[in-house]
Amino acid sequence: MRILFVGDVVGRSGRAVFTETVPNLIRDWKLDLVIVNGENSAGGFGITEAIYQELVDAGADAITLGNHSWDQREALVFIERAPRLIRPINFNQGTPGRGAALIDTRTSKRALVVNAIARIFMQSSDEPFAAVDRELNACRLGESADAIVVDIHGEASSEKQAMGYFCDGRASLVVGTHTHVPTADHRILPNGTAYMTDAGMSGDYESIIGMQRDEPIGRFLRGYPQSRFEPADGAGTLSGVAVQTDDITGLAIYIAPVRIGPILTPTSPPNWK
């Protein structure tokens, strides 16, 4: 199975590069499954139902969230009728929506997508490792699911790395989101799980993690906010990770970073043609 995971889509710039690029990648790379983190897609904060549908129409099979899940209050309602929208599994009990979903791929296989939020330097939530463990035990790779992808949305690289090794051998891919900076540590762990600490951001990289630069710089200089953060609106770069899995075991046999657009050095799977 060929899987593309796209890092946090930020604002209009991120949405534009996703909708313009992903349909071609699905065709050219013969992708089975596309997952995107969409928690910053609405002006940098949250997601709306219209944007959810825009990403799905462009080829997203699943959309994960994070600490900005409810910044657009309508998400608390429409998530119940949005089967491809997945919020962190370790949010408090009773939170609307789902933390995992079994997705039918383009080749009639089944992929489990799990979203978890880390705890170090993040908002209060239930412990993520136990929640992910329960899900992986209930839907086993190679038995109930042909592939399993875990999005660990967190600040600390150590916590995300711990989740990778915790899931090694039980998931096809564990990938971090949230910091908006792609890491260079993509690899396959000893027991066959593909891993990357952060998939990066899909948006305008002439920015400060997707936001126009003046206000973030001013806050560092002044020590207090003066205005709202506004998403940068220049040409977007799509960042993420591509993974190929074994058809029998569901474990990873190949991983490569994906960067398409200006600013960052472009890279893509060399053999996916």
Q: Which residues form the catalytic set?
A: 68
Distance CA 118, CA 175 (A): 12
Residue at 170: amino acid letter = R
Q: Which residues on neighbouring strands pair with residue 194, listed in sequence order?
A: 173, 188
